[in-house]
Structure 1
């Protein structure tokens, strides 16, 4: 692939990232991405043979950004503090980037062979499971992490839809996050 081919591939993904941020997942058509990138509507197919492959490349950027936000800082803070920071960063990402967040967790993209999304998303889950395992030794860390992740995902969706605010009367997300973490991690050991 020539440098200009690599540049066009990156530009198509850049345009897709901008488009999903501005207008949501429904705006991510090959024709619209090509138009905004200033190329013919057939040009994206040279780099992304299917629409799903282009969407996967765009979602990959989202996972990379989320990974950068939730990566625990080495040393200094305990596992529970790191997990609290991870959960806050996860929710902030979801609420700040609703289109990208929706795209990232589309089953058809995660399941498509060769997209690399599983290889990008699973290490993020591994970070969560590792922290849970350090906080709750003896528990099935992957199972607890899965339940915690599902709960965080649900909180993000329901908060964005304003359903949680209506149901709970909460205007701040922090008390709900505290309740989620307490439910999955148990009370903080105050030794």
Structure 2
């Protein structure tokens, strides 16, 4: 039978978006090690050379996938927080944390890629997208401090403490150490304990 590989189209509509969508499906199903540009090209029906019009190599594709994940995460977090009354900083923090945990557990493989990519040398766009997503928590802490609901301190450092707790919860859930049914209660406990510890000190 003749080889039809090179007869596949070189151009393919919005190829970049289709490649990212296919890459995320592959990541979810098979993990990052099995992901290849050639396989993705075959899956969406284009020549094996076509993806290189958008991604120089596999690493470039993975970085773009991580960046798009952070952009999506940032939008998800903003939407969750915006649903809460501006005057209720604790509730807004809770909404932020709940939205993050849902995203991280529903997109475990993608979240793993995002977290492993954001500190890689040269992955500037990934780091910027991550900062935009996670920077929202510092803004929420600043709001709470301005209203006297949270104690003084560097909002970024305080946010890292909360993020470390949440990251631990999602890691345990994604690895099967904790049952998924405990998710909401763990999130509620984590935020409640954090807010209790972050309250302004009582005047002496």
TM range (shorter): 0.7 to 0.9
Residues 102 and 75 (structure 1 numbering): CA distance in 2 closer, same or farther, change over 3 Å? closer
Partner residue in 2 for 1:138: 152
Kindly indicate whether residue 56 of structure 2 is the aligned counterpart of residue 57 of structure 1. no
Alpha-carbon distance, 1:14 to partner: 2.0
TM-score (normalizing by structure 1) = 0.82
Q: Distance in 2 between matches of 1:29 and 1:184?
A: 42
1:176 is the counterpart of 2:186 = yes
Partner of 2:6: none
Report what 2:76 is aligned to: 69
1:92-107 paired onto structure 2 within 5 Å: 92-107=102-117
CA offsets per residue over residues 97-130 of structure 1, 9 Å max, x none? 11111111114x5424255111111011210111
Unpaired runs of at least 5, structure 1:
none
Inter-partner Cα distance in structure 1 for 2:123 and 2:105? 28
Report deviation, 1:94: 0.9
> Contact 1:53/1:115 (CA < 8 Å) preserved in 2?
no
Partner residue in 2 for 1:157: 171
Mind listing any 5+ residue stretches in structure 2 that lack a counterpart? 1-10, 145-149, 200-204
The question of whether the paired residues in 2 share the 8 Å contact of 1:56 and 1:115 is answered with no
Shift of 1:137: 4.1
Q: Which residue of 2 aligns with 1:148?
A: 162
| Cα deviation, residue 31, structure 1 | 2.0
Deviations 1:146-173 (A, max 9, x none): 11112111110111222134xxxx9422
Describe the SS at the equivalent of 1:150. helix
Q: How many matched pairs?
A: 181
CA RMSD of aligned residues (A): 2.5
Matched, 1:14 2:24: no
Task: Give a deviation string over 1:6-60, Cα, whole Å, max 9, x none.
Answer: 7222221121122223333233222221221222333322321121111111122
d(CA) in 2 for partners of 1:151 and 1:187? 13
Give the distance between the partners of 1:173 and 1:149, measured in 2 at CA. 15
Aligned to 1:103, the other structure's residue is in SS state: helix
Which residues of 2 match residues 109-124 of structure 1 at below 5 A? 110-113=119-122, 115-124=124-133
